[in-house]
Amino acid sequence: MSEAKPKRSKWKFMVTFGVTMVLLAIIRHTLAIDTTRHKEGDSDNLLADEVYVGDGETTTFDDELNPLDTIGLTPEEASRLGNDVMETSYSPDDPRHRPHAIKGVWSFDKCFHDLNDVQLASAQANGIQPVKDKEEALKYVKQHKLVDISHSPYYMVDELTHSMPYLVPKAQHLVNTICLNFIDSLQMKGIMPHLPIITSVMRTTDDVKKLQKGNGNATTNSCHCYGTTVDISYNRFMPISGTHVPTAQLTRWNYNMKQILSEVLFDLREQQKCYVKYEVKQGCYHLTVR
């Protein structure tokens, strides 16, 4: 009799433990359904720790991590920042996985998809006629139809090898707005001030021909030929330190800054101020004034 009692106690414990686990699983499953159910397009009802990263993926972030800081990252990229990122399953039938349910930048590639034909039409409507060389471009500068953007307190112009630092005034105003909004957003978020870097501006027909020799994909009728289009790097930024910063000391691959720049461009694109294309290989945003 004395030996059977422990066996019955152990058996009761195992049964009770099993039932408890089943009940907890049912409760968790039920709560998950209730907390994620929402009307189509109602972003306010989304789970606070989920955000879309595009390409059929949803990423779940740690509670203390701001999803906007790593939106668009792969798990490998996010891990470099010391964030615990975990992929979750994707289902096209789940309303949480529909892109329009998220306001703002939910995918760099899908939110900035304005192709060349759209940008080219805007460039032709707002820009100058393509010029052959620098001498012809300088005539437009003297006529104030082009503005030299070489030096500015709001951005840095990269070393240009296949373009010149000239834009039509409307495009210059757009660039100033983008960069001022970016700097202001950094300050609002308590991030050290940085300047965006302009990597390509206006091209002459001679520039295009030289570019095509090394890049077979370069188009003859480029938006850059009209003085309306710039490329802004999203993986390099210049710290504002009051002194010249060597290229080797540029801030590189800062995903918080990439996201802030993306939000600035998204807002201006929504206001129909510009067209924007996310360039993966070039590491830049290719944008044209509207």
Query: Are 101 and 166 within one domain?
Result: no
User: Is 3 within the bounds of a domain?
Assistant: no
- 63 lies in the same domain as 203: no
Do residues 91 and 138 both lie within one domain? no
- pLDDT, mean over the chain: 74
138 shares a domain with 72: no
101 and 120 in a single domain? The answer is no
Number of domains in the chain: 2
Q: What is the pLDDT of residues 253-278, one digit of tens each?
A: 999 999 999 999 999 999 999 999 99
Q: Which of these three, 50, 84, 110, is where a domain ends?
A: 110
Rounded Cα gap, residues 139 and 54, in angstroms: 46
- The parent domain of residue 275 ranges over 112-289
Write the Ramachandran bin of 54: left for phi over 0, alpha for psi from -120 to 50, otherwise beta.
Answer: left
Residue 249 DSSP symbol:
G
33 inside domain: no
- Burial class of 187 by CB neighbour count within 10 A (0 to 12, 13 to 18, 19+): exposed
The string of pLDDT tens digits covering residues 153-166 is: 999 999 998 999 99
| 181 part of a folded domain | yes
Q: Looking at the structure, do residues 84 and 217 belong to the same domain, yes or no?
A: no
Q: Mind listing the pLDDT tens digit for each residue in 88-147?
A: 333 434 443 344 434 588 889 899 999 999 999 999 999 999 999 999 999 999 999 999
Residues 77 and 219 in one domain: no
Is residue 140 a part of any domain in this protein?
Answer: yes
The CB density around residue 255, as the number of other CB atoms within 10 Å, is 19
Residue where a domain stops, chosen among 60, 78, 110: 110
Same domain? For 255 and 208 the reply is yes
77/123 same-domain check: no
Task: Identify whether 9 is part of a domain.
Answer: no
Strand partners, 62: none
Q: For helices 169-188 and 255-270, give the axis angle rounded to 10 degrees.
A: 130
Which residue in 169, 165, 158 sits closest to 128, CA to CA? 169
Cα dihedral angle (103, 105, 111, 114), rounded to 10 degrees? 110
Determine, yes or no, domain membership for 74: yes
Mean pLDDT, range 237-256, rounded to an integer: 82
Say how far apart CA 219 and CA 162 lie, in whole Å: 13
Query: Bigger pLDDT: 67 or 240?
Result: 240
Whether 108 contacts 278, CB under 8 Å: yes
Any domain includes 23: no
Question: 170-216: per-residue pLDDT in tens?
Answer: 999 999 999 999 999 999 999 999 999 999 999 999 888 888 776 65
* 117 and 241 fall within a common domain: yes
User: Where a domain ends, among 110, 126, 150?
Assistant: 110
Task: Find the CATH number of the domain harbouring 123.
Answer: 3.30.1380
Question: Considering only CA atoms, which of 113, 120, 84 is closest in space to residue 226?
Answer: 120
Q: Considering the domain boundaries, does residue 13 fall inside one?
A: no
Cα 199 from Cα 160, distance rounded (Å): 7
Question: Is the domain of 106 the same as that of 216?
Answer: no
Answer yes or no: do 97 and 206 share one domain: no
